[in-house]
């Protein structure tokens, strides 16, 4: 990675609007295990301690985000109400950005 790309990455991370409370909640409860299947394939399982929620890396990112959203709503960490796709909801966008950031960092 060149220094220019590195600077862009750092600036993007610093200007992203994420919810640190949710991020810390996810980091505290997530546990990751890796399993080898066959010779060349590795699967990562992410489980959240104290809940029944888990997913693996064979699922799509949208499914992972939906699982985490369901967990956050069930544990009363967030309350976003009913989802209306025709309305731009800044709170929902902030939560989704936080979840995406968590997934990108955690599944490296």
- Range of 47's domain? 16-106
Cα–Cα distance for residue pair 69/92, rounded to 1 Å = 10
Q: What are phi and psi of 87, to 5 degrees?
A: -115, 130
- 42's enclosing H/E stretch is strand 41-48
Q: Residue 1: what pLDDT?
A: 65
Cβ-based neighbours of 103, under 8 Å, separated by 6 or more: 61, 64, 65, 68
50, 105 contact by CB (below 8 A): no
Tens digits of per-residue pLDDT, 63-99?
A: 999 999 989 988 888 877 766 656 667 788 888 889 9
Nearest to 72 by CA among 107, 99, 91: 99
> Which of 1, 5, 3, 55 is CA-nearest to residue 26?
55
Report if residue 61 sits inside a domain.
yes
Tokens of 15: 């200007």
In this structure, is residue 52 part of a structural domain? Answer: yes
Domain assignment present for residue 36? The answer is yes
User: pLDDT tens digits for 12-43?
Assistant: 665 567 888 999 999 999 999 998 888 888 88
Number of domains present in the structure of the chain: 1
């Amino acid at each position: 990675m060149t220094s220019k790309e590195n600077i862009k990455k750092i600036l993007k991370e610093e200007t992203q609007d994420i919810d640190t409370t949710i991020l810390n909640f996810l980091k505290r409860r997530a546990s990751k295990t890796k399993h080898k299947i066959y010779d060349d394939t590795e699967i990562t399982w992410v489980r959240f301690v104290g809940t029944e929620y888990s997913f693996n890396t064979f699922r799509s990112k949208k499914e992972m985000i939906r699982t985490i959203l369901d967990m956050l709503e069930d544990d009363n960490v967030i309350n976003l109400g009913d989802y209306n796709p025709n309305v731009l909801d800044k709170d929902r966008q902030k939560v989704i950005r936080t979840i995406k950031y968590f997934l990108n960092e955690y599944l490296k």
